[in-house]
A and B are shown apart, each in its own frame.
Chain A
Amino acid sequence: MEKTFRLGGIHPQDNKLTSEAPVEIFPILPKVYISMAQSLGAPATPVVTKGEKVKVGQVIGKPSAFISGFVHASVSGTVTDVVPMADLAGRKVMHVVIDVEGDEWLPEIDRSKTVIRAIKASREEIIEKIKNAGVVGLGGAGFPTWIKLSPPPGKKAEFLIINGSECEPYVTADDRSMREQPEEIFIGGEIMLKALGIAKGFVGIEDNKKAAIAKMKESAKHYPHFEVVVLKRKYPEGGEKQIINAITGRRVPSLGLPIDTGCVVQNVGTALAVYDAVQKNKPLVESVITVTGKCIAQQRNFVMRVGTSFAQILDAIGGLPVEAAKFISGGPMMGKAVANVNASVLKGTSAFLLLTEKETKREPESACIRCSKCVQVCPMGLEPYLLYKLSKNGRGIAELERNDIQDCIECGCCLYSCPAHIPLLDVIRIGKSTALKDIKSRAAKK
């Protein structure tokens, strides 16, 4: 019996066009632009200066706050500039620009393909290594992994969930990783189990990835701590709160964290990065990225260096198709539309998707017919039509909170399914941020 989360959910077209394309190594381009804002929280502080020579894996940015992370050079060469540049949304973020010269790695990094199974590092060493390697969650938010692996006092982890559901249409980065490196993922998982001091892990995979399920199940025979759970194909199965509900039946309380249910959820890509960091001393300088879209000829999966500029990627895949109208970093449900093509690949980038105007353009809004589809599909059991109305007139924060707007996970199911094409989520996001601010300021007063 396939497991799934209880409330809501939608079934957008799968469009996993790249699931049979093996992961290729993307060429290193002559110039990279490494953003200092690679994780959730404060951007890192650059520690290199103009003219300095760097090697791959060298630290170029140090954490500037608790929730922040190390950033490493993803190429070797000369730093030509440390300058604020626009990110994909056009906001100015500090970038380190490196002119590439060769591909020289720091000597302590093991680049061989040999799988190292024995975990020699102690618990503290593991956390330290993960922290220093700049590993962040690769599932979307980019939360520093070491913090997730160090539960706050009083909270105890029981299960580790490795999230391989990849419920976003089009994206196949995790699918390919599971098919090509199942052992490494499990070792990464074992390392995280050790760090958490627990012995039970799950790997959740949606049933549309049959080959990955088979591979992972076979590999799991050697890793008895892990159980591969087949999940029903339904968006947003890969949401943290949904996958916890699907696998354990538990629910994260309002404003709570997964750890409140005894679960730690990590993405497949994160498990790989943990393996690299602990077993191979390799910091997070590259990640698997799907380049896809029905309008482009070459649908491929690449492993790309962090800092590769989007414009260069478009050139490398053979230029931009004429009909491409929207360029998305990430999947079509939660990915970000790119406003600035000169932005560069981040650690957490999972896909580049090109959509045509026909596929993506929003229809004009019409009157709400109260069809209740938004209520039916909301995986958090909220009433988007009501939250929209309340957020829109901008008053009544109390009313918004009474209707649990703070629980919204911004998955986009409501906007996806609205037959009147009402921009529900656009407006709810604003209401949610107002409500959260209010809740935080009240908590601060206490």
Chain B
Amino acid sequence: MKKFIVSPAPHIHSKQSTRSLMVDVIIALVPTLAVSIYAFGFSAIQLVLVGVVTCVLTEYLIEKFIMHSKVTIDDCSAIVTGLLLALNMPPSAPWWLVMIGSIMAIGVGKMTFGGIGQNIFNPAIFGRVFLLVSFPVLMTDWSIPQAWLAAGKVDAVTGPTPLSIVREGLAAGQTVPQIFAANNFDSLSRLFINIGGSVGEISAVALLIGMVYLLVRRVITLTIPLSVILTVFCMTGIFWLIDPLHYTNPVFNVFTGGVLIGAIFMATDYVTSPMTFRGQVIYGIGIGVITVLIRLFGSYPEGISFAILIMNAVVPLLNKYIKPARYAKGV
């Protein structure tokens, strides 16, 4: 007689798996990758390749030879970490820098906690902040490695990022409108390609395309990105309304620097973000507030990495105390 499979209900399963989710994130990063390769050429390719290969290799070696556990590189999460870390590097960073960052990200940021699902901090951010603190000069060297495909075709800000230009300009006694006029920061083309900053911050439009893809594929929900972006927008908006001469406008703040890539790809990292809707809103607002505070009053021009790292540490608390709206309690 035929032997059937017997299992508890439900008997069907959605097509999503850890691997398919990670592959979707990689696909969502393709537009950004394409634009950065267009702009930075070989150095972008080199950073990404070194980052991905190092991350995967580190995870493999640690699981195989130190933890003696099942090797989980086939879930593609290490590839995502490597990619995100590379996209958070300055374009001129040497290959060994991203390699060190990758080893730290996976080896310390992820595997010491027990591997996927266990880490407290987003590994890519952990790697980047480690590099930022250990190699501050290299990590803030925003010179453009070599003109390639995009040579001479875009408004290239050789040297510092728009955020640091503003900061230095203000320190030198200029007003915001003067700085903007001098650097052509109001140009709409900057939404599409904006050289000056990390590899992945190159194009707001490419990042938004990635976000739409992730939303359509139901990989992420809008909760975290929207609460981060809205918080940054509102907070900088208040300062700008009070004193437009010394504070940049909210649109500029949202679309420059790491806010978009951070809100869409880094803050939404499953493992290190809260489980409930309300927790995610609090987490998003927290990231936004800390980012703006660091940008406006801290000693770094950009603060999203630190903001995400700080809020990552709060996530276990949010998971413990912020409960979802229960059906039976009518909350």
Contacts and interface: CB of A to CB of B under 8 A. Distances in A.
A435 B13 CA distance: 27
B7 A337 contact: yes
Contact of A254 (B116, B270, B280, B329): B329
A75 interface: no
B28 to A, nearest CB: 15
B12 A169 contact: yes
B4 A371 contact: no
Interface in B17-67: 17-18, 20-21
8 contacts: A335-B11, A339-B6, A355-B11, A375-B324, A376-B277, A378-B324, A383-B323, A419-B20
Interface string A416-430: 110111010110010
Contacts of B116: 367, 369
B115 interface: yes
A369 B6 contact: no
B216 interface: no
Interface stretch (A26-34, A62-70, A195-203, A326-334): A326-334
Contacts of A415: 10, 13
B312 to A, nearest CB: 12
A359 B326 CA distance: 32
Contacts of A226: none
B45 to A, nearest CB: 29
B13 A421 contact: yes
Which of the four size classes fits the interface of chain A?
35 or more
Interface string A215-248: 0000000000000000000000000010001000
A381 B9 contact: no
A252 interface: yes
A253 B13 CA distance: 30
Contacts of B328: 251-254, 256, 380-381, 404, 407
Contacts of A83: none
Contact of B17 (A336, A370, A421): A421
A383 B324 CA distance: 8
A362 interface: yes
B328 to A, nearest CB: 4
B8 interface: yes
A357 interface: yes
Contact of B5 (A12, A357, A368, A385): A357
Contacts of A385: 275
Contact of B13 (A335, A362, A380, A386): A362
Summarize B's interface: helix, strand, loop or mixed: loop
B330 interface: yes
B134 interface: no
Contact of B2 (A320, A423, A429): A320
B327 A379 contact: yes
Among B9, B118, B270, B271, the most chain A Cβ lie within 10 Å of the Cβ of: B9
Interface in B279-331: 280, 323-330
A417 B18 CA distance: 11
B271 A419 contact: no
Interface string B255-276: 0000000000000001101111
Interface in A325-374: 325-328, 332-339, 341, 353, 355, 357, 359-363, 366-373
Summarize A's interface: helix, strand, loop or mixed: loop
B1 A341 contact: yes
Given A332-B10, A381-B326, A360 B5 contact: yes
B227 to A, nearest CB: 15
Contact of A328 (B11, B271, B324): B11
Given A12-B12, A333-B12, A419-B21, 18 more contacts: A254-B329, A326-B5, A334-B9, A335-B9, A341-B2, A363-B17, A366-B18, A367-B72, A369-B117, A371-B21, A373-B16, A381-B325, A381-B326, A386-B275, A415-B10, A420-B18, A421-B13, A425-B9
Contacts of A253: 328
A382 B10 contact: no
A251 B330 contact: yes
A7 interface: yes
A240 to B, nearest CB: 12
Interface of A: 6-7, 10, 12-13, 169, 241, 245, 251-254, 256, 320, 324-328, 332-339, 341, 353, 355, 357, 359-363, 366-373, 375-376, 378-383, 385-386, 403-404, 407, 410, 412, 415-417, 419-421, 423, 425-426, 429
Contact of A376 (B7, B9, B221): B221
A366 B12 contact: no
The 7 closest A-B pairs by CB, nearest first: A412-B10, A254-B328, A367-B117, A381-B326, A371-B270, A372-B275, A380-B327
Given A341-B1, A417-B16, A429 B8 contact: yes
B327 A327 contact: no
A415 B13 CA distance: 7
B111 to A, nearest CB: 12
A375 B8 CA distance: 20
Among B17, B72, B326, the most chain A Cβ lie within 10 Å of the Cβ of: B326
Given A367-B117, A407-B326, A339 B270 contact: no
B75 interface: yes
A306 B255 CA distance: 66
A67 to B, nearest CB: 23
Contact of A417 (B4, B14, B72): B14
B14 A10 contact: yes
A122 to B, nearest CB: 37
B67 to A, nearest CB: 13
Contact of B4 (A326, A332, A376, A383): A326
A212 B56 CA distance: 54
A363 B168 CA distance: 55
B275 to A, nearest CB: 4
Contacts of A339: 4, 6
